[in-house]
Homo-oligomer: A and B are copies of this chain.
């Protein structure tokens, strides 16, 4: 799983980024100051850093100098009024930049683009003896191909991306089916059963009574 560090002092924006990127399957960490960010960067290697330029204490510029040696790609986040000439200087070090206020969709696209460009985009997921090739949408278990339908495949990915997390039925449903969860239906259950059956995963996909499901392992 890919790690993204969000360096942003405005909680609402940090949160927006955190929620959306997490939902897309990235593991996120938020730093609300330059200091905190520096600590995090010290401790761990990130695959991408989203960096707000206007930070208290240490500015984004300074932080960038700190990041550069690690070779981690950076996307700058900048407020609209500071775009003009400053940016041009800034761009020197960043892999991309985006202007606040931004469309969340645009940001997601840029994140994906930068990761792809840096050869870090997620090509496959692995859980136990199962390998999932995202690009080709193929699943193999111990090298043997196992066929999955669209819904099953999407559900499987959602489970693996959130392994060891109890996923609420409604969230799970809404994520995979892209529509409100009405409840009172066997749809989600059926699909879980189908996945369990195809992969003999009775032991891995646990049901969390009254909550939902959890992929354990």
Which residues of chain A have a CB within 8 Å of any CB of chain B? 9-12, 14-15, 18-19, 28, 30, 32-33, 56, 91-97, 110, 113-114, 117-118, 133, 135-138, 149-150, 164-166, 208-211, 214, 216
Among B113, B117, B118, B136, the residue within 8 A (CB) of A165 is B136
**Do A137 and B208 form a contact, CB below 8 Å, given A11-B91, A18-B117, A113-B15?**
yes
CA gap between A10 and B97 in the complex, in Å: 10
A32 is contacted by which of B95, B137, B214 (Cβ under 8 Å)? Answer: B95
Q: Is the CB of B136 within 8 A of A11?
A: no
The complex is assembled from copies of this chain, and their number is: 2
The residue in chain B whose Cβ has the minimal distance to the Cβ of A135 is B165
Residues of the B chain whose Cβ atoms lie less than 8 Å from the Cβ of A93: 32
CA distance A201 to B174 in the complex (A): 38
Q: Quick check: B136 and A164 within 8 Å, CB to CB?
A: yes
CB of A48 to closest CB in B, whole Å: 13
Q: Shortest beta-carbon distance, A56 to chain B, in Å? A: 5
| Interfacial chain B residues near A110, Cβ < 8 Å | 15
Complex alpha-carbon distance, A95 and B8, angstroms: 10
Contact of A150 among B164, B211, B216 (CB under 8 A): B211
Q: Which 6 A-B pairs have the closest CB atoms?
A: A11-B96, A137-B166, A150-B210, A135-B165, A136-B164, A56-B92
Given contacts A166-B135, A209-B150, contact A11 B214 (CB under 8 A): no
Which residues on B sit within 8 Å (CB–CB) of A91?
9-11
Residues of B within 8 A of A137 (CB): 166, 208, 211, 214
Chain B residue at smallest Cβ distance from A92: B56
Q: Enumerate chain B residues within 8 angstroms of A117, measured Cβ to Cβ.
A: 14-15, 18, 28, 30
A95 near B211 with CB under 8 A, answer: no
Contact residue among B12, B166, B210 (Cβ-Cβ distance under 8 Å from A96): B12
